[in-house]
Amino acid sequence: MKKVSIETGYNVLKEVGKLFDLKVVGIKAEVLVEQINKEIDALNSKPAKSGKWYENVELPFKEGDIVNVISGWAEGRQIKIVKPSAKVNAFKGQLFNPKTGTPQGTLVGIEMADIELYVPNLPVIVEEQEAI
């Protein structure tokens, strides 16, 4: 929001002052300009609230990650992450069918605290180093 100046008409200053719930009767224009500009500075210094909680946060899971559900209603199941949920600290994902092992079509919401990244148990490959 732009600051006001002394060149602004007094009647306009009174209306703006009323919007900020300032006392305007019997107040000089210079003082009113100063008070209004303080209110405008306070408004401008507040960070703009983002519409989505995950826009300014580094997410631990990305789209396509497979996670294990470690607690909650789907404990023991696996979920494929599709997107962050509108709910803070939650994700939307597809449950894996326990019989076929394929993702189901329905999206489910799951809290971030209830899941952990799935790491498959792959054999460790050790390369031999030549002796020096």
Q: What is the DSSP letter of 112?
A: G
Dihedral sign for Cα 79, 81, 82, 86, please.
Answer: positive
Q: Which CA distances in Å does 120 have to 52, 71, 101?
A: 32, 19, 14
Domains in the chain: how many in total?
A: 2
Average pLDDT over the chain reads 87
| pLDDT tens digits, one per residue of 42-86 | 887 776 665 688 887 888 999 999 999 999 899 999 999 999 998
Q: Are residues 40 and 73 both part of a single domain?
A: no
For residue 80, the enclosing domain spans 66-117
Distance CA 11, CA 17 (A): 10
- 104's tokens: 């189901």
Question: How does residue 92 score in pLDDT terms, banded at 50, 70 and 90?
Answer: very high
Q: Are residues 111 and 82 both part of a single domain?
A: yes
| pTM of the complete model | 0.54
